[in-house]
Amino acid sequence: MYIVHGTWIPANEQGFVQNGAFYLWVETDTALHNSHHRADKIHPRQLVGEALYTFLMDTFHLQEKISGFPGAPSNKLDMKYFLLPTAAERPAPSFELLRYVEEEPPTEFELAPWRIQCYQLTDLIATLNTIHFITLNAASDFQLGADLLFWYQYTQAFKEIIVRDQYIPAIKARTRASQSKSGKRINRNAKDGYELHPGWEILSDVYETNIQQYIAAMPAVCAAGMNSADEASALFNKESLLRHFSECLLRDVVASASFPNEMQDRLRDTLLFECINPYSSRWSTSSRLLRKATPQEIEEYRGWLSWRKNLTRAHRNAAFTLCFQLLEAEFMDIDHWHLHFLVASQQDPSLKLSLNEYWDLPPKQRTRATKPFGQDFEKNLLLALGSAARIYPTIWEGLNTDRPSDCELTLEQAFAFLKESAWVLQDAGYTVIIPAWWTPQGRKRAKVRLKTSSRAPKKSSKAAGTSYFSIDKLIDYQYQLSIGGQVVSEAEWRQLVNAKVPLVQFRGEWMELDREKMQQLLEFWQTHQGEGQGEISLMDMIKLGTESDDLEWEHDQALSEMLAHLHDKSAFAPITDPRSLQGTLRDYQRRGVSWLQYLESLGLNPCLADDMGLGKTLEVIAHLLKEREGIEGLPPTLVIAPTSVLGNWQREIQRFAPEIRTMVHQGSTRLKDKQTFVETCQQHDVVLTSFALVRLDEKLLHALKWHRVVIDEAQNIKNPKAAQVKSILKLSATYRLALTGTPVENRLRDLWSIFNFLNPGYLGKEAQFRKSFETPIHKDNDQDRLETLKKLVEPFILRRVKTDKRIIDDLPDKIEQKMFCTLTPEQASLYEAVVKDVEEELQNAEGMQRRGLILATLMRLKQICNHPAQFLQDGSAFTSTRSHKLERLSEMLEEVIDSGESALIFTQFTEIGGALERYIEHELHYNTYYLHGGSSVSRREQMVHDFQNPETEPSIFILSLRAGGVGLNLTKANHVFHFDRWWNPAVEDQATDRAFRIGQRKNVFVHKFLTMGTMEERIDAMIEDKKRISSLVVGNDEGWLTELDNDTFKDLIALRRSAVME
């Protein structure tokens, strides 16, 4: 694993101009071979030389750039030093690397210098963006350090200053030092004159806000760079470092722009020439930089100073903001528009005074009236009006008086004002008030309107059940011309198009005419009008409605109701619980099923993305039951899920809907003959299978048309080129349904893949999707594209999160769920071997010995159910392929972390706690804590504090059931996992309460893992029974199990083979 770090290091020179450069370095999980690194202070975990160079070039495609000018950045390898946390004479791994190495973060350390080979980076804004973009989509064998992410994001934010021209040419004066005869510098004195250094200055409120926000978030390592080992013993002050960086960056950005020779010639002998050539002019011999400035140059400098003073004064203005309000002309008098001048208090912008009113006041009252607008009101007012007039000269015409209050505009001028000048004034910091009909909300726009009507329902075919429509071509439409939502005749339209003015009155209100666009729309309308009625599919209609701006829709009642329905998911009326459901649905689940039914009835395939724990499986089961009410002989539904959850599906169906005939297509005993397979399937309602088998048994699964294909954990199908995914896409089914618990709308690749399965073509081809959504959203952070995408997918995705108001009301504070897993064949054979041994020993055991045997057996079986490695204690691999329980836990943790939540995991075995910690840290790479009997009190407090800190990323906290102790407050977690079971509900509940305490504002989800077909499942059933028969009290340990007679015990531990999954 490589962690790519990088930071800005100012040059070690104390001259007037202190340069700096940006350096990348790569931390690795494997140490350098040299053993002498301690003495030489060489950082042991770094890429060096050829390896560093090759990695950076190959991964990020960096362009070589060598500059001949001193101070200008070049690409090159260079030795640098960093002050890093050091303990026991070794630098601690970075926070990112910790998850990949067997090392604890040091609790105490000092900062010591380490030598690291770096690569100097150029063109920072663009290069950091490229590096970030490549990393987003790259394989996962490297990642970016928080330091590099910081600089990436800061440079992106800095772009705004460049894009909005918020910097000015500047001159910096340096007092010259007199030289004594010996060449020593003595005191600096104005009489020795000045050197003048041209450059740039940032003048921007955005910049100042950015600096403050970013220094608060800057990792200390960003300030840790040095040029030599003994340069310093302290880090840089963050603000000064960030300002130094920004100023150098601005100089470099200007320098990298291209200015043609013709322009250079025009600018020669001016300040600007030196400003745009910062590197080349700086050291040229004719430069004025290194000598005393002449009196003329000082005069020029003073001129600049006064200009800058006025500029900052205008920039920071008085205590008021100047406002301009455009009042429209009367319809009969179209050339008399008025632009009124007002002032608004900066402290309270709602406090406004129009200049008209102001001048009308008797002079004595004026002073009082302008109190909220600051001192020197009239002077500042004139200066503000003057500055505004420089930008929008028409204002001068309103100043031709001693009481300036407004200016008059002709219709053409008013239009130009609305079109452009208003924005310019607004950008310049003035407030502009325009008539409502010009605002985006109030604006009347010319559009082509599609008048649509749903076709009368066809006789629904048998297979489609209660479909309202057949799936394609179901909506008729007609084109009309429309303005501001009102239908317009062709004649009226033409009249408007032929008007000679840009603003017209249309049915009593002013509106803008975009003649060119109206002409286009007219032509479009004319060519399509002859076609009479058209047809469009519902899906295309939704898509077109979201993406096209020039279309307007008039839907008939049925269609508009339908669309309203699709967009307001909360309005779905809950279904009544299916008659044969063994249990009760929660209200939001009833609404969920209702939504599934509705979408399928429209021929739209839905994605159910409710948060983990809200019961998606049960919603699907209820949906299956509901569609069978009154209908016989529906073809089977195929459910594809990860192996680790197949057992859970099976159990849940058994429990809630025993009448649904379920078949598990899994394992070596599965049906292999096509004909038998098809026939057997047809006698079932649900066929469960795993992702892997879809490809292996492609021929079988493609041999029949399914009623529905359900994909559980649908984020698994993100690679469209994988053979597995191709097989899934080829399945033939009337309906398709995707289930996922991850916030799918934020992961664009997942989103596209899921839609490619559900509603192929809706989001375009993959390359198309990448171009129109993924790249703009990820690379440019394009919010408009993201908004469009969200609107596109919104009708198809139902995602309710635990924190939704309506969900919370439906949920108890604590939701307990059992998670059924199966044994792997390895676990099963170990399990059977133990059972076999015990059966023999049990015959001869008596009294204490028998009790001991029983408890020991239970312990060993629990270990096997957890993981073979725990039982074998042979140091073999703790991998998820050997235990479905571990596999399922990993999957669920991924959903927890992806939703930005935290979890507790309880186990009664310290060896499992340790193994889980390593596994979660090093395989899943989540922030992990582990508290066990051996943790010191201070360590324990530190961990709890870190975990609870709101600034800490979502994390996993592992606790040993016994060491957990009371009094721990871990309310940040809202998921509690019981990896193995303590056969005593009271102990488990107490543990659960760590997360479920006062101060917990979220619902807590408790997931209890159970392996199917084993004693875990049966003991659980016994406890459930006993809970019902409350007379039987389960003791506070597991001793009650030893009271069972031999046969009962044997039956308890016997393995039900059918529950083993390969």
Q: Which of the residues 829 through 868 are near other proteins (CB under 8 A)?
A: none
Q: Is 96 in the site for other proteins (CB under 8 A)?
A: yes
Q: Which is nearer to other proteins, 158 or 831 (CB)?
A: 158
Residue 173 Cβ vs other proteins, minimum distance, rounded to whole Å: 5
Chain-centre distance for alpha carbon 645? 27
Q: Is 174 in the site for other proteins (CB under 8 A)?
A: yes
Please list every residue from 422 through 441 that binds other proteins, using CB under 8 A.
423-424, 427-428
Q: Is 227 in the site for other proteins (CB under 8 A)?
A: no
Phi, psi dihedral angles at 541 (to 5 degrees) = -65, -45
Q: Is 106 in the site for other proteins (CB under 8 A)?
A: yes
How many Å is the Cα radius of gyration of the chain? Answer: 37
Q: Tell which one of 61, 185, 291, 302 touches other proteins (CB under 8 A).
A: 302
Q: How far apart are CA 151 and CA 23, in angstroms?
A: 11
Q: Is 111 in the site for other proteins (CB under 8 A)?
A: yes
Candidates 298-306, 552-560, 617-625, 745-753: pick the segment binding other proteins (CB under 8 A).
Answer: 298-306
Q: Tell which one of 228, 284, 294, 310 touches other proteins (CB under 8 A).
A: 310
Q: Tell which one of 52, 116, 121, 203 touches other proteins (CB under 8 A).
A: 203
Residue 967 Cβ vs other proteins, minimum distance, rounded to whole Å: 24
Q: Which is nearer to other proteins, 231 or 535 (CB)?
A: 231
Pairing of strands 955-960, 927-931: parallel
Distances (CA, A) of 261 to 67, 265, 277, 692, 943: 19, 6, 12, 64, 63
Q: Is 654 in the site for other proteins (CB under 8 A)?
A: no
Helix (H) or strand (E) holding 167: strand 167-175
Q: Which is nearer to other proteins, 428 or 696 (CB)?
A: 428
Q: Which is nearer to other proteins, 203 or 830 (CB)?
A: 203
Binding footprint of other proteins, residue count (CB under 8 A): 130
DSSP 3-state of 329: coil
Helix (H) or strand (E) holding 828: helix 825-844
Pairing of strands 955-960, 902-907: parallel
Q: Which is nearer to other proteins, 408 or 698 (CB)?
A: 408
Distances (CA, A) of 429 to 58, 425, 434: 47, 7, 15
Q: Is 41 in the site for other proteins (CB under 8 A)?
A: no
Residue 742 Cβ vs other proteins, minimum distance, rounded to whole Å: 21
Q: Which is nearer to other proteins, 429 or 985 (CB)?
A: 429
Tokens of 374: 């600051």
Phi, psi dihedral angles at 172 (to 5 degrees) = -110, 130
Candidates 208-216, 409-417, 553-561, 612-620: pick the segment binding other proteins (CB under 8 A).
Answer: 208-216
Candidates 88-96, 409-417, 893-901, 1016-1024: pick the segment binding other proteins (CB under 8 A).
Answer: 88-96
Residue 98 Cβ vs other proteins, minimum distance, rounded to whole Å: 8
Chain-centre distance for alpha carbon 540? 28
Residue 477, beta-bridge partner list: 452, 534
Please list every residue from 4 through 23 that binds other proteins, using CB under 8 A.
10, 16-18, 20
Q: Is 796 in the site for other proteins (CB under 8 A)?
A: no
Spatial contact of 1042 and 854, defined as CB atoms under 8 Å apart:
yes
Q: Is 232 in the site for other proteins (CB under 8 A)?
A: yes
Q: Tell which one of 44, 78, 133, 172 touches other proteins (CB under 8 A).
A: 172
Residue 303 Cβ vs other proteins, minimum distance, rounded to whole Å: 3
Q: Tell which one of 53, 55, 95, 415 touches other proteins (CB under 8 A).
A: 95
Q: Is 300 in the site for other proteins (CB under 8 A)?
A: yes
Number of Cβ within 10 Å of residue 75's Cβ equals 19
DSSP 3-state of 839: helix
> Residue written as tokens 């600007």?
272
Spatial contact of 974 and 901, defined as CB atoms under 8 Å apart:
yes
Spatial contact of 729 and 759, defined as CB atoms under 8 Å apart:
no
Q: Tell which one of 53, 69, 133, 301 touches other proteins (CB under 8 A).
A: 301
Query: 643 Cβ partners below 8 Å, 6+ apart?
Result: 666, 690, 691, 692, 822, 884, 887, 1061, 1062
DSSP state of 1060: B
Vertex 724 angle, CA 720 and 727, to 5°: 90
Please list every residue from 385 through 414 that binds other proteins, using CB under 8 A.
385-387, 389-391, 393-394, 396-397, 399-404
* Identity of residue 123: D
For the chain, what is the largest distance between any 2 Cα atoms, rounded to a whole number of angstroms? 117
Please list every residue from 235 through 294 that binds other proteins, using CB under 8 A.
235-237, 240-241, 243-244, 247-248, 252-254, 256-259, 263, 266-267, 269-272, 276
Residue 628 Cβ vs other proteins, minimum distance, rounded to whole Å: 48
Q: For residue 88, is it left (φ>0), alpha (ψ between -120 and 50) or beta?
A: left
Q: Tell which one of 175, 228, 347, 768 touches other proteins (CB under 8 A).
A: 175
Residue 806 Cβ vs other proteins, minimum distance, rounded to whole Å: 27
Residue 781 Cβ vs other proteins, minimum distance, rounded to whole Å: 5
Q: Which is nearer to other proteins, 194 or 1040 (CB)?
A: 194
Please list every residue from 329 through 388 that binds other proteins, using CB under 8 A.
363, 378-379, 382-383, 385-387
Please list every residue from 950 through 1009 that binds other proteins, using CB under 8 A.
951
Distances (CA, A) of 696 to 280, 726, 804: 66, 12, 41
Q: Which residues of 841-870 are buried (b: 16+ CB within 10 A; e: fewer)?
A: ebeeeeeeebeebbeebbebbbbbbbbbbb
Q: How far apart are CA 48 and CA 768, in angstroms?
A: 40
Candidates 169-177, 725-733, 839-847, 882-890: pick the segment binding other proteins (CB under 8 A).
Answer: 169-177
Q: Is 511 in the site for other proteins (CB under 8 A)?
A: no
Residue 11 Cβ vs other proteins, minimum distance, rounded to whole Å: 10
Q: Is 205 in the site for other proteins (CB under 8 A)?
A: no
Q: Tell which one of 40, 179, 205, 303 touches other proteins (CB under 8 A).
A: 303
Q: Which is nearer to other proteins, 321 or 690 (CB)?
A: 321
**Helices 884-898 and 847-866 meet at what angle, rounded to 10?**
50
Distances (CA, A) of 902 to 222, 739, 885, 949, 950: 28, 22, 19, 12, 11
Per-residue binding letters, 146-165, with other proteins (x by CB under 8 A): xx-xx--x--xx-xx-xxxx
Q: Which is nearer to other proteins, 383 or 1054 (CB)?
A: 383
Tokens of 920: 């979660």
Residue 310 Cβ vs other proteins, minimum distance, rounded to whole Å: 6
Residue 105 Cβ vs other proteins, minimum distance, rounded to whole Å: 4
Q: Tell which one of 91, 199, 592, 603 touches other proteins (CB under 8 A).
A: 199
Vertex 99 angle, CA 935 and 109, to 5°: 60
Residue 423 Cβ vs other proteins, minimum distance, rounded to whole Å: 4
Q: Which is nearer to other proteins, 277 or 650 (CB)?
A: 277
Q: Tell which one of 38, 61, 292, 309 touches other proteins (CB under 8 A).
A: 309
Q: How far apart are CA 208 and CA 625, in angstroms?
A: 61
Whether the CA torsion 277, 282, 283, 285 is positive or negative: it is positive
> Residue written as tokens 């430069």?
287
Q: Which is nearer to other proteins, 363 or 530 (CB)?
A: 363
Q: Which residues of 715-731 are buried (b: 16+ CB within 10 A; e: fewer)?
A: bbbbeeeeebbebbeeb
Q: How far apart are CA 47 and CA 990, in angstroms?
A: 49
> Residue written as tokens 């939540």?
901
Candidates 105-113, 745-753, 765-773, 850-858: pick the segment binding other proteins (CB under 8 A).
Answer: 105-113
Residue 109 Cβ vs other proteins, minimum distance, rounded to whole Å: 7
Q: Is 944 in the site for other proteins (CB under 8 A)?
A: no
Tokens of 253: 């950005």
